[in-house]
Amino acid sequence: MIVADTSALISVATVDLLETLLTEYDVRTTETVLEGLTDTAQYDDSHGRAAQCVLDNTDQMRVHDIGSAVETSRIDIGEGNTAALANELDAEFIESSRRIPRGLTSGRKPTLPFPTHVR
């Protein structure tokens, strides 16, 4: 099981690995991440197209509603929500910014930008 934030899902979709990620793993994310993807999908660029690709495939992942989460000057609410969800599910998570402090994830380091054994 893997929990992914907005930037990680966009990065994976940008390099055409979204199908592989969704096929190989039980991918989880949050409502906040979907909101971020919806906002990004409005742009007419590669990130907007990648965000729309992820939105078109949300039926292949479980979306969780997380209450309040950590938001700081270092991490946004989407990153905080994914860290909270990863802790709740005792799951690995992917994010692409390296801003989530280790203390927020029960000592686990985030996988960047996706597990190295995904091909």
The CATH number for 9's domain is 3.40.50.1010
pLDDT in tens, 45-64: 999 999 999 999 999 999 99
Q: Is 115 inside any structural domain?
A: no
**What is residue 94's predicted lDDT score, i.e. its pLDDT?**
72
Q: Is 103 inside any structural domain?
A: no
Structural domain count, the chain: 1
Q: Is 113 inside any structural domain?
A: no
Q: Is 72 inside any structural domain?
A: yes
Q: Is 116 inside any structural domain?
A: no
Higher pLDDT, 65 or 102: 65
Res 21 pLDDT > 60: yes
**What is residue 118's predicted lDDT score, i.e. its pLDDT?**
35
**What is residue 96's predicted lDDT score, i.e. its pLDDT?**
59
Domain that holds residue 10: 2-94
**What is residue 104's predicted lDDT score, i.e. its pLDDT?**
42
- The backbone torsions φ and ψ at residue 28, rounded to the nearest 5 degrees and listed phi first, read -120, 150
Distance CA 69, CA 61 (A): 21
User: What length does the chain have?
Assistant: 119
Q: Is 8 inside any structural domain?
A: yes
SS3 26: coil
The model's pTM: 0.76
Q: Is 51 inside any structural domain?
A: yes
Res 107 pLDDT > 90: no
Q: Is 58 inside any structural domain?
A: yes
pLDDT in tens, 68-93: 666 565 667 778 788 888 888 888 87
